[in-house]
Amino acid sequence: MSTEHPNKVEKLYYSIGEVAKMFEVNTSLIRFWEKEFDIIKPKKNKKGNRLFTQRDLDNFHIIYHLVKEKGYTLSGAKERLAKNPESVELNSEVIKTLKNIRAFLIDVKDKL
């Protein structure tokens, strides 16, 4: 995922293709996780296209962290989210912040 910029304007909605590209996964996985996890609730336009909010992206990041990075099964990730969602979200935010710091430091190193 890319480094966040403080002056960057966030979009209100992201297409399924944009979300898949951000997480480097197929759109079919995005649709599958949407069905499996009730915390993902995209809006749909008149054509039926999914429109994901920043909150959906944050929730995808949490699921991605549990399943892809920590190796949880889907049922394990659901159970972990159900038991202590605040802890999971906080842990995910810490990891996201550390990744951003790492990317920033690598960028600084490359410029030296």
pLDDT tens for each residue of 12-52: 999 999 999 999 999 999 999 999 998 899 999 999 999 99
When pLDDT is cut at 50, 70 and 90, the band that residue 8 belongs to is low
Q: What is the CATH number of domain 16-111?
A: 1.10.1660.10
% of the chain exceeding 70 in pLDDT: 88
Average pLDDT, the chain: 86
Burial class (CB in 10 A: 0-12, 13-18, 19+), 55: exposed
Q: What is the pTM of this model?
A: 0.70
Q: What is the mean pLDDT of residues 93-109?
A: 85
- CA 16 vs. chain centroid, Å, equals 12
Residue 112's pLDDT is: 87
Burial 63-99 (b: 16+ CB within 10 A, else e): bbbbbeeeebeeeebbebbeeeeeebbebbeeebeee
